[in-house]
Amino acid sequence: MDIMSKRGKLGAFTLWLIAVVIVILVLIPFLCALRISLAYAGTTYVPFTAPITFDNFKTLLFNTLFPRWMVNSAIISIAVAITNTFFASMAGYALARGKFKGNNLLLTLTVFSMGIPYHLTIVFNFLLMYKLHLTNTLLSVILPLAVDPFAIFLARQFILTIPPSYDEAAKLDGCGELGVIFKIILPMSKPLLLILFVTEFMNAWNNFIIPLVMISKSDMKTVTVGIADFSYATLNVNWGVIMAGSLLGSLPTIALFALLSKRFIKSFFVGGVKG
């Protein structure tokens, strides 16, 4: 747009300043959590000048099952991300391009399913998992999350933005249906696949209610359930350890995000076909 006018340079700097202020606002809660995690007291306020200690982290890593919980969460999240990326994008493509009976019905069903919270489905899902002898295993969390209706919806919406004219152009060039998929849709869907993978990984990692119900053995729990455990376990709430666990428990998702953030953010930056 047209900010590079006479007031341009000043305008640009002010905007940059506002952006930085917002960055600070976003990061402050994390900084507070960090400060509490590095303190002895375990209270909810710790002056920034108080001495620093890693005791809480030591307790967390050596005296609790936290490391095991991290491993459990990792396995579950990777599995769920993969199943979603494959199956949801396949279904999304079918919904976007497929002219078949029941397309609208399936779409309505999918959107309907998006609104179904896990709390409604959890009892029956648990009974199902028990009959299959899968409770207290990681599969009992992976399977209900394996395909997220939102992922299907997202895939459909995305593929719809790829103009059918591309498909037709490719077909005129002699591609079959499969060719269209691999030569046109797939390459253009890289941003979609990436978003699906990362979003569903994080959805699984951060999920609370499903591992809460499916898993009762302490060593099979996930990180989210474990952190909540700390708050509810005994009356001796030690915020230092809880904050330490909260921060460490967020590290994988933050790290994954940081690693892929360039591509991930860039995917939002790609507009569709420009004028």
Partner 1 sequence: MKKVLSLLTVALLVILPFSHSMGLSYAQPKVLTFWTMPFVENPEKALAPIIKGFEEKYGVKVEVTSIPYAEAIEKLQIAIAAGAAPDVVYMTEGRYAALVEFGRALLPLDDIIDEIRDKIVSPRLLKADYYKGHYWVVPIFYVSYVWVINTDIFKKYGLSEYVDKLSDPNFIWTWDDLYNLLKKLTHPEDEVWGYAYPGGENWVHPFLLWLWQAGGDVYSEDYSRPTLNTTATVRALSFLLKLKQEGIMPPGSETMRYSDVVEAFVTGHIAMTNYGCWPSNVLKVWPKQYPKLHFKPIYPPVGPSGGRDTYVSAGLLAITRQCKDPDLAKEFIKYWLSSEVQDFIATQFGYFPVIKGTGKELLKDPKARIFAEMVKWGHGEPVHPSLGEIKRIYNYYVQQVLMGRMTPERAASEMQAKALEVMAHYRS
Partner 2 sequence: MRSLKWYFLLLPAYFFIFTFYIAPILGVFTLSFTKWAIISEPKFIGTKNYMRLVKDEVFLISLRNTLLFTAILLPSLLTTSFLVALLLYKLTKGIEAFASVYYLPMVVAIVITATIWRVLYSPFGYLNQLLRMFNLPRMIFLSEELVIPSISLALIWRDTGYFSLFIYSALLSIPKSILDAAELDCLNSYQKYRYVILPMMKPVLFFLSLYITIGCFMIFAIVYVMTGGGPGYASMTLLNYMYETGWRYFQMGYAAAQSAVFLCLIILMYYIQRKLIGGGGVYGYYE
Regarding 121 and contact with partner 1 (CB under 8 A), the answer is no
Choose which of 39, 227, 241, 244 interacts with partner 2 (CB under 8 A).
Answer: 227
CB 205 within 8 A of CB 77: yes
* Helical residues (DSSP H) of the chain, grouped into ranges: 8-37, 55-63, 66-83, 89-97, 103-114, 118-131, 139-145, 149-160, 164-172, 177-180, 186-188, 190-206, 209-214, 223-232, 239-269
Radius of gyration over alpha carbons of the chain, in Å? 23
Burial 221-236 (b: 16+ CB within 10 A, else e): bbbbbbbebbeeeeee
Binding mask 73-112 for partner 2 (x = CB under 8 A): ----------x--xxx-xx-xxx--x-xx-xx-xx-xxxx
Choose which of 5, 6, 29, 131 interacts with partner 2 (CB under 8 A).
Answer: 29
Choose which of 51, 174, 187, 271 interacts with partner 2 (CB under 8 A).
Answer: 271
Structure tokens at 175: 């591609």
Q: Is 53 helix (H, G, I), strand (E, B) or coil?
A: coil
Cα(44)–Cα(104) distance, integer angstroms: 52
Q: Which does 32 bind (CB under 5 to 8 A by kind): partner 2, partner 1, none?
A: partner 2
Binding mask 7-46 for partner 1 (x = CB under 8 A): ---------------------------------xxxxx--
Choose which of 33, 107, 228, 252 interacts with partner 1 (CB under 8 A).
Answer: 228
Q: Which does 67 bind (CB under 5 to 8 A by kind): partner 2, partner 1, none?
A: none
The footprint of partner 1 on residues 57-76 (CB under 8 A) is 63-64, 75
Nearer to partner 1, 4 or 127 (CB): 127
Instruction: With CB under 8 A as the rule, give the number of residues binding partner 2.
Output: 96
Please provide the DSSP assignment of 2-15 as one string.
---STTHHHHHHHH
Choose which of 136, 206, 250, 267 interacts with partner 1 (CB under 8 A).
Answer: 136
Give me the residue label for tokens 């569903």.
Answer: 200
Binding mask 162-181 for partner 2 (x = CB under 8 A): -x-------------x----
The footprint of partner 2 on residues 194-213 (CB under 8 A) is 202, 205-206, 208-209
CB 137 within 8 A of CB 220: yes
Cα(153)–Cα(92) distance, integer angstroms: 6
Structure tokens at 95: 């919904």
Q: Is 76 helix (H, G, I), strand (E, B) or coil?
A: helix
Choose which of 20, 123, 169, 251 interacts with partner 1 (CB under 8 A).
Answer: 123
What residues contact 1, with CB distance under 8 A and at least 6 apart? none
Choose which of 7, 10, 27, 52 interacts with partner 2 (CB under 8 A).
Answer: 27
Regarding 82 and contact with partner 1 (CB under 8 A), the answer is yes
Site of interaction with partner 1 (CB under 8 A) = 40-44, 63-64, 75, 78-79, 81-82, 85, 123, 126-127, 130-131, 133-139, 142, 190, 193-194, 197, 212-213, 215-220, 228-229, 232-238
